[in-house]
């Protein structure tokens, strides 16, 4: 199957899932995750109409963004971000989905964004598991981080983000329902921060049913990742 065919199929599946959830596709942003794949694939996806791309490793994202800097597109940083790399990431990332601690926000306070660039779209990543190593803030810390983002002019609070627990830990349905509840708490602080970044290749249907607005889909569209990197 070609990339074009996989993208077309995914778009149809997303439309079906939206319709099953009585939602419309205009509420959904498809972020195609291109980690481990070449800048050439980004170009091909761009030709096919994709404008939102996701990366989870800073070094790789920075180089790829440079290689396709002639294209009109938006980079979403979705991986764990080291505090000392945050300023560099702010030079290419239009959105950061993985803000999960106060120090990360602090490190972005003084970042000088490219001229005329709007504030970076900021999502507070929530850890839906009990394992602190997974990344994401504990649910009880999310509101404080959201408030801190609201006080940072370089950042625009968009909402929350999460990765589902492993299927044997908890079903994506129930995990994403908890995420929806956390999103509602954030919206009481800032009503416009209504975005929910959730849903990957294997759980986008459950995410759409639970109100996701930003789907982060990789392998279903890009094919298997080139191995061993
Ligand atoms: C890799 C990745 C994705 C995409 O995963 P697929 O299963 O390939 O769709 C989404 N979100 C994050 C945070 C990722 O690291």
Q: How many CA atoms lie within 13 A of 184 on its CB side?
A: 8
Q: What string of pLDDT tens digits covers the 229 residues of the chain?
A: 899 999 999 999 999 999 999 999 999 999 999 999 999 999 999 999 999 999 999 999 999 999 999 999 999 999 999 999 999 999 999 999 999 999 999 999 877 877 778 999 999 999 999 999 999 999 999 999 999 999 999 999 999 999 999 999 999 999 999 999 999 999 999 999 999 999 999 999 999 999 999 999 999 999 977 764 4
Residue 227 has what pLDDT? 61
Measured in Å, residue 166 CA sits from the centre of ligand 1 at 13
The C-alpha atoms of residue 113 and residue 87 are separated, in whole angstroms, by 9
H helix or E strand, kind and range, residue 70 = none
Query: Which residues, including other chains, have CB under 8 Å from residue 27's CB and lie 6 or more apart?
Result: 18, 213
pLDDT digits (tens, 9 = 90+) for 84-93: 999 999 999 9
Residue 112 has what pLDDT? 80
At residue 193, what are phi and psi to the nearest 5 degrees?
Answer: -85, 60
Q: Which atom of ligand 1 is nearest to the CA of 222?
A: 8
Q: Which atom of ligand 1 is nearest to the CA of 79?
A: 13
Residue 110 has what pLDDT? 78
Residue 114 has what pLDDT? 77
Whether 2 and 45 have beta carbons less than 8 Å apart is answered as no
Residue 215 has what pLDDT? 98
The residues lining ligand 1, judged by C-beta closer than 6 Å to any ligand atom, are 33, 35, 56, 78-79, 163, 200-201, 216-220
C-alpha distances (whole Å) from 28 to each of 178, 179, 202, 214, 218 are 20, 17, 17, 6, 16
The C-alpha atoms of residue 19 and residue 211 are separated, in whole angstroms, by 12
pTM above 0.75, yes or no: yes
C-alpha distances (whole Å) from 170 to each of 6, 66, 130, 213 are 28, 39, 11, 21
Measured in Å, residue 101 CA sits from the centre of ligand 1 at 21
Measured in Å, residue 140 CA sits from the centre of ligand 1 at 25
């Amino acid at each position: 199957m070609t990339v074009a065919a996989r993208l077309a199929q995914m778009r149809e599946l997303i439309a079906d899932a939206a319709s099953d959830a009585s939602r419309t596709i205009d509420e959904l942003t498809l972020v195609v995750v291109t980690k481990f794949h070449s800048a050439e694939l980004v170009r091909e996806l761009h030709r096919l109409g994709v404008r939102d791309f996701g990366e989870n490793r800073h070094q790789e994202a920075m180089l790829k963004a440079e290689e396709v800097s002639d294209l009109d597109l938006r980079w979403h940083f979705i991986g764990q971000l080291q505090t000392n790399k945050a300023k560099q990431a702010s030079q290419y990332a239009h959105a950061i989905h993985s803000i999960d601690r106060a120090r990360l926000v602090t490190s972005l306070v003084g970042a000088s964004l490219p001229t005329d660039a709007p504030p970076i779209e900021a999502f507070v990543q929530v850890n839906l598991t009990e394992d602190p190593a997974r990344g994401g803030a504990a649910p009880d810390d999310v509101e404080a981080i959201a408030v801190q983002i609201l006080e940072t002019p370089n950042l625009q609070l968009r909402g929350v983000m999460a990765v589902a627990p492993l299927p044997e830990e908890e079903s994506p349905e129930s995990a994403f329902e908890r995420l929806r509840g956390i999103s509602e708490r954030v919206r009481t602080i800032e009503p416009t921060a209504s975005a929910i970044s959730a849903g990957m290749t294997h759980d986008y249907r459950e995410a759409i049913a639970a109100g996701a607005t930003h789907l982060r889909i990789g392998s279903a569209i890009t094919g298997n990742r080139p191995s061993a990197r």
